[in-house]
Chains A and B, each alone.
Chain A
Amino acid sequence: MTDSLVIAGKSYSSRLLVGTGKYKDFTETRAALDASGTEIVTVAIRRTNLGQNPNEPSLLDAVPPSKFTYLPNTAGCYSAEDAVRTLRLARELLDGHSLVKLEVLGDPQSLYPNVIETIAAAKTLVAEGFQVMVYTSDDPIIAKQLEDIGCVAIMPLASLIGSGMGILNPWNLQLIMDRVSVPVIVDAGVGTASDAAIAMELGCAGVLMNTAIAGAQNPVLMASAMKKATEAGREAYLAGRMPKKLYSASPSSPTAGIIASARS
C-alpha cells in the first residue's frame, strides 16, 4: 500500500520533516537526518560571516540538496517584509527552488507567530510563485484563510517552538483538519516520540521537528524513535482505532468454556 505525503504535487514517503539546527556538528546532523528517514529538511538563511574562512565546511556539503528536499525558513523574521526578502534570497541561493517555510514571529520570548504579518507575507509569496508551507497558530479560522491564499501546507504549532511541551490543544488541530484540505503538519512543540505519534493518530499529514531530536541526549537514537513514532501513529490513524467505552469493560478472551469452580 502506498501512503504518500503529497505537498504541492510532489510525493514523499516520509511524513517526518526535520530541522537542521542545534546539532553538535554536521556529522551529527547528517546521522540524525539519516536515522529519521526524513526527505524534507528545513534550513535557515543567514549573513555570511565576513572575515571567517570561506572554505570551512558548509551545510550544503553535509546535507546535499540533491538528496534532501530543502525547506528554507524565515526563522527570526518579525515582519512580512523581512520574511519575503529572506525567501527571495533563498530562491536565488537554491537555484530557483520555490518550496519554502514561512514563519513570521511575534516576539522573541514566545516565538509565537504573528498571523497578521504571516498572512501579508503569504499573499506576496504566493503571488511571486512560491510554494508556501506556513507556520501558524492553531487558530482554525486563520488556518483556513492561509489555505485560501494558496499556501500548500498549513503548519500549526502544537506548543511553543523549542518547548518540547507536546500537543497542548488536540481539539484545535482537529478543527483545523476539519476545515483545511491541504496537508496539516504539526510544526513546533513535539518533545518526545509519543507526541509525534499522537499528532499522527489525530490525522495530521506530518510532523516537523528540530529541538526534539537535536536536544535529546542521543540525537541519532531519538531521530530513529521519531521515525518509528511517526510511522506508528500514521498506521494507527489509517487502521482506525477502536471506539472508547468509558464505563464498560469488554473481555478479550472467550466468556464460554471456563473451567468450573472447584469450591462448590
Chain B
Amino acid sequence: MITVHINGAARQLSGSCSLAALIAELGYTGKRIATERNGDIVPRSQYAETTLSDGDKLEIVVAVGGG
C-alpha cells in the first residue's frame, strides 16, 4: 500500500501505479485537466510513464469561472 495526497486529501493505493491509472480511477481520462506532482507539472503525454510513489503530493486542476 502507498499513500498519495490528491488535492490535499490522502488516498490509499494498492501498490505503485501509474498516474494514468489513477486518473482513470478518478474518472478524469480524456477530461481537460492539468496535474502537478510534488510541485512540478506532469505533461499529459507523460501520465502513462509516471509511476506514483508513497508520499507523492498531487494537484489536479480544471478551469472554472473566475474574474
Q: Complex formed: what's the CA distance from A55 to B62 in Å?
A: 13
Is A92 a contact of B66 with CB atoms below 8 Å?
no
Q: Which of B28, B34, B66 is in CB contact (< 8 Å) with A20?
A: B66
Question: Chain B nearest CB: distance from A2 CB in Å?
Answer: 29
Q: Is the interface of A mostly helix, strand, loop or mixed?
A: mixed
Is A93 a contact of B67 with CB atoms below 8 Å?
no
Q: Complex formed: what's the CA distance from A173 to B8 in Å?
A: 41
Size of the chain A interface, CB-CB below 8 angstroms: 37
Q: Complex formed: what's the CA distance from A213 to B26 in Å?
A: 35
Q: Complex formed: what's the CA distance from A15 to B19 in Å?
A: 42
Q: Does B56 count as interface, using CB distance less than 8 angstroms?
A: no
Q: Inside 8 A of A54's CB, which chain B residues have their CB?
A: 26-28, 31
Q: Inside 8 A of B27's CB, which chain A residues have their CB?
A: 54-55
Q: Does A48 count as interface, using CB distance less than 8 angstroms?
A: yes
Question: Chain B nearest CB: distance from A166 CB in Å?
Answer: 17
Which residues of A68-106 are within 8 A (CB) of B? 70, 72-73, 75, 85, 88-90, 92-94
Is B41 a contact of A60 with CB atoms below 8 Å?
no
Closest 8 interchain pairs by CB? Answer: A44-B66, A19-B67, A210-B67, A93-B34, A54-B27, A92-B34, A20-B65, A47-B7
Hey, which bits of chain B sit against chain A, CB under 8 A? Answer: 6-9, 26-28, 31-36, 39, 41, 43-44, 59-67
Q: List 16 A-B contacts (CB under 8 A).
A: A20-B67, A21-B64, A22-B65, A42-B67, A44-B64, A44-B67, A45-B61, A45-B64, A48-B33, A50-B9, A54-B26, A58-B62, A59-B63, A75-B67, A92-B41, A162-B67
